[in-house]
């Protein structure tokens, strides 16, 4: 068993947290916000935080925060973190590896008796995935102070309210605003995360430095046709909602593939009604997810999608309703922090220049960027696979990530934080 801070120990700790009691379901990893697995996980993480010299607490939103004091009491903090929740049947490293690496970095400095003019805090956000309630980054937004009133009225799939879920955790929804941090409390935010994509592996690189988190639109499309008997409705008279939707999906794919490399467009969910084999579908609802490295590229693609779908709907004599469900602007990483992270990554890997990537996935960092400057480090994952039990990392890569994190913190101190 590895007992000192290392990439191997970080991987082993993630693996330990991938099973019951740290999952709500035996045989797979599923750790929804404020569930039993969440509570057990926070207890275990708190033990590791305290062993690393931190004081651990759970904030008003159910996030776990460990604080490693600086040379001066109550100094502002460099915040390191990611999320502890997981999707159903998810992988062991998405989110959790970033939290564990923060703990390992603090433990590395604690072993050497080293403290800084600033405090270091490690945070495990309780909800990034929207793993229980129908919104994402709920607890991250609580810390950033950007929750809206509608967030307090949420219910999960079983009808449990957010207030009830918090109460089961010993928390009070009326105190949720108490999780918000002041801008002068947080100097910067750093998040290490598996890439969740194949670029680093394809280029045989262990690490990448993130320049920005992609802009994202999420829409819901509803196509209305006319349902009818599959045997008696002539083909030329049909107003088939599913056939129209199929053409729309292909148009979305074409537009996504026709832009810059960081533009992607995805239909991930489609529902046909009435869903009967011998009935021409009368209504189809489907999701549209459009992402790009810049707002301009995303907005251009979204406009092209709207025009293409309107044309298809008119030609096929069906109705179309498009509703915007999520609008996340592109979030650039702080240039100064990105440069420091790049220098630290090169020192760890021996490369002449860091690999710089845009993150197509959303992360806690894009919300915390409203509170403090932020930087992200990506770690190679096998096949680019994520949100899947096949998620995998190399211990050697995680060791390089740990060296990068500790070197980044030292460089951050030298440049005057």
CATH number for the domain spanning 393: value is 3.40.630.10
> Is 363 among the annotated ligand-binding positions?
no
In a domain, 43, yes or no: yes
For residue 160 the two structure tokens come to 């449990």
Identify whether residues 228 and 360 lie together within a single domain: no
Identify whether residues 334 and 190 lie together within a single domain: yes
> Is 193 among the annotated ligand-binding positions?
yes
Distance CA 228, CA 226 (A): 6
Q: What is the 8-class DSSP label of residue 181?
A: P
In a domain, 2, yes or no: no
* Count of domains forming the chain: 2
- Residue ending a domain, among 306, 328, 350, is 328
Identify whether residues 176 and 320 lie together within a single domain: no
Identify whether residues 208 and 236 lie together within a single domain: no
Identify whether residues 202 and 105 lie together within a single domain: yes
Identify whether residues 84 and 230 lie together within a single domain: no
| pLDDT tens-digit profile, the chain (417 residues) | 668 999 999 999 999 999 999 999 999 999 999 999 999 999 999 999 999 999 999 999 999 999 999 999 999 999 999 999 999 999 999 999 999 999 999 999 999 999 999 999 999 999 999 889 888 899 999 999 998 877 788 888 899 999 999 999 999 999 999 999 999 999 999 999 999 999 999 999 999 999 999 888 989 999 999 999 999 999 999 999 999 999 999 999 999 999 888 899 999 999 999 999 999 999 999 999 999 988 999 999 999 999 999 999 999 999 999 999 888 888 999 999 999 999 999 999 999 999 999 898 889 999 999 999 999 999 999 999 999 999 999 999 999 999 999 999 999 999 876
Identify whether residues 106 and 142 lie together within a single domain: yes
Identify whether residues 47 and 185 lie together within a single domain: yes
Angle ∠(14,331,66) on CA atoms, nearest 5? 40
For residue 211 the two structure tokens come to 């320049």
> Is 57 among the annotated ligand-binding positions?
no
Identify whether residues 165 and 206 lie together within a single domain: yes
Q: What is the 8-class DSSP label of residue 257?
A: H
C-beta separation of 79 from 182 below 8 A: no
C-beta separation of 155 from 73 below 8 A: no
> Is 83 among the annotated ligand-binding positions?
yes
Identify whether residues 201 and 233 lie together within a single domain: no
Residue 148, domain extent: 7-213+330-414
In a domain, 272, yes or no: yes
In a domain, 63, yes or no: yes
> Is 387 among the annotated ligand-binding positions?
yes
In a domain, 1, yes or no: no
> Is 291 among the annotated ligand-binding positions?
yes
Identify whether residues 197 and 222 lie together within a single domain: no
In a domain, 373, yes or no: yes
Question: CATH code at 239?
Answer: 3.30.70.360
Residues paired with 271 in a beta bridge: 285
User: Residues with Cβ < 8 Å from 389, sequence gap 6 or more?
Assistant: 28, 29, 89, 90, 91
- Residue ending a domain, among 276, 303, 328, is 328
- Residue ending a domain, among 286, 306, 328, is 328
Identify whether residues 18 and 102 lie together within a single domain: yes
In a domain, 388, yes or no: yes
């Amino acid at each position: 068993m590895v007992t000192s801070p290392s990439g191997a120990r970080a991987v082993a700790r993630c693996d330990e947290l991938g099973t019951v009691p740290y999952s709500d379901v035996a045989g797979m990893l599923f750790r929804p916000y404020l569930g039993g697995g969440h509570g057990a996980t926070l207890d275990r993480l708190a033990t590791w935080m305290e062993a690393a010299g931190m004081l651990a607490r759970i904030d008003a939103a159910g996030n776990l925060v460990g604080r490693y004091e600086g040379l001066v009491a109550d100094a502002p903090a460099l915040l390191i973190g990611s999320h502890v929740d997981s999707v159903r049947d998810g992988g062991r490293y998405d989110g959790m590896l970033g939290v564990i690496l923060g703990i390992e970095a603090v433990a590395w400095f604690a072993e050497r008796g080293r403290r800084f003019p600033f405090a270091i805090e490690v945070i495990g956000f309780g909800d990034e995935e929207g793993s229980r309630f129908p919104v994402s980054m709920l607890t991250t937004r609580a810390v950033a102070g950007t929750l809206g009133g509608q967030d307090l009225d949420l219910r999960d799939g079983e009808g449990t309210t957010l207030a009830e879920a918090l109460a089961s955790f010993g928390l009070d929804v009326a105190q949720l605003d108490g999780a918000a941090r002041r801008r002068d409390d947080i100097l910067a935010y750093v998040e290490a995360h598996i890439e969740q994509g194949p670029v680093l592996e394809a280029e045989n690189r262990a690490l990448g430095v993130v320049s920005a988190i992609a802009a994202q639109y999420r829409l819901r499309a509803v196509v209305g046709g006319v349902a009818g008997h599959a045997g008696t409705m002539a083909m030329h008279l049909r107003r088939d909602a599913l056939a129209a939707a199929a053409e729309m999906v292909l148009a979305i794919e074409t537009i996504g593939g026709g832009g810059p490399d960081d533009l992607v467009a995805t239909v991930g969910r489609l529902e046909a009604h009435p869903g009967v084999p011998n009935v021409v579908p009368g209504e189809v609802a489907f999701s549209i997810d459009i992402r790009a490295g810049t707002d301009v590229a995303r907005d251009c693609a979204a406009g092209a999608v709207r025009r293409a779908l309107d044309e298809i709907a008119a030609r096929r004599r069906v109705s179309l309703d498009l509703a915007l469900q999520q609008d996340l602007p592109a979030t650039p990483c702080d240039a100064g922090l990105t440069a420091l992270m790049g220098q630290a990554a090169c020192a760890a890997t021996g490369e002449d220049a860091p690999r710089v990537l845009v993150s197509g996935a959303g992360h806690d960092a894009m919300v915390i960027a409203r509170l403090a400057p932020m930087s992200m480090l990506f770690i190679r994952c096998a096949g680019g696979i994520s949100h899947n039990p096949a998620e995998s990392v190399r211990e050697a890569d995680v060791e390089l990530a740990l060296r990068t994190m500790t070197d980044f913190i030292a460089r951050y101190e030298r440049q005057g934080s």
